[in-house]
């Protein structure tokens, strides 16, 4: 494997005042037991994701929650690539599968939390995400959620292409199998951002916050 010329902390330091937390598609269709696209790791990571959400709220960091909506006509090729989406109305706005998983922290009303509905893997594609980030003078996005190798990776790549610094917590992303998860972590760290654990991220945010104080 080629080694990038810059890795890890040498790539960029994390300034919490310029960060946004993106929580991708923690919906019933992925997180609930027995769901059509069940991702057990999404439930298992909640004890690591939720402290990160709480810390972001304490820091008044923008939090953007995404929800996938693949109903016609918005689903496009999703409807044929994944027939269950069309046949069982999975991830259609208004259906239970579209709703946020109830066994986790929920989005709050307020000036620093947003919900966006997306129709493709990439959370930037034809959404208000970029406008929200620029309004808050964000230069770094923390990408979390499900699925690691689909919506999370697609969003991380798209953020990098827009010159956002990307933080990708290894244990606050989940997908359908471990090999897929690990492949994305290698790819993100090599080409698109910084991969770290939530503990490492919370520690770095805490250190920089203390220094700023």
Summarised one tens digit per residue, pLDDT across range 97-139 is 999 999 999 999 999 999 999 999 999 999 999 999 999 999 9
Contacts of 88 (CB under 8 A, 6+ apart): 36
DSSP notation for 64-120: EEEEE---TTTTTTHHHHSHHHHHTTTT-TTSGGGSBPTTS-----STTEEEEEESS
- Distance (Å, whole) CA 29 – CA 137: 33
Residue 36: pLDDT over 60: yes
Relative to beta strand 165-169, strand 194-196 is parallel
Identify the band that residue 184 occupies on the pLDDT scale cut at 50, 70 and 90.
Answer: very high
pTM of the model: 0.93
Identify the band that residue 1 occupies on the pLDDT scale cut at 50, 70 and 90.
Answer: very low
Helix, strand counts (H, E) of the chain: 9, 7
- Domain 17-212, CATH homologous superfamily name and number: Isochorismatase-like (3.40.50.850)
Strands (E), the chain: 19-24, 63-68, 113-118, 140-146, 165-169, 173-174, 194-196
Q: Is 160 exposed, middle or buried (0-12, 13-18, 19+ CB in 10 A)?
A: middle
- Distance (Å, whole) CA 165 – CA 146: 20
Residue 4: pLDDT over 60: no
- Kindly state the percentage of the chain with pLDDT values over 70: 92
């Amino acid at each position: 494997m080629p080694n990038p010329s810059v890795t890890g902390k040498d790539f960029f330091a994390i300034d919490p005042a310029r960060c946004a937390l993106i929580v991708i598609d923690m919906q019933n269709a992925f997180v609930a037991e027995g769901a059509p696209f069940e991702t057990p790791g999404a439930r298992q990571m909640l004890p690591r994701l939720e402290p990160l959400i709480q810390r972001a709220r304490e820091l008044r960091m923008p939090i953007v929650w995404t929800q996938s909506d693949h109903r016609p006509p918005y689903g496009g090729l999703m409807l044929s690539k994944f027939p269950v989406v069309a046949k069982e109305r999975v991830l259609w706005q208004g259906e239970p599968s579209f709703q946020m998983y109830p066994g986790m922290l929920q989005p709050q009303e307020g000036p620093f939390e947003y919900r966006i509905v997306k129709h493709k893997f990439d959370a930037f594609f034809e959404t208000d995400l970029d406008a929200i980030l620029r309004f808050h003078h964000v230069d770094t996005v923390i990408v979390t959620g499900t699925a690691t190798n689909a919506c999370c990776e697609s969003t991380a790549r798209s953020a990098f292409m827009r010159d956002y610094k990307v933080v990708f917590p290894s244990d606050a992303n989940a997908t359908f199998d471990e090999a897929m998860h690990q492949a994305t972590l290698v790819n993100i760290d090599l080409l698109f951002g910084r991969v770290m654990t939530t503990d490492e991220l919370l520690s770095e945010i805490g250190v920089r916050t203390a220094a700023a104080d």
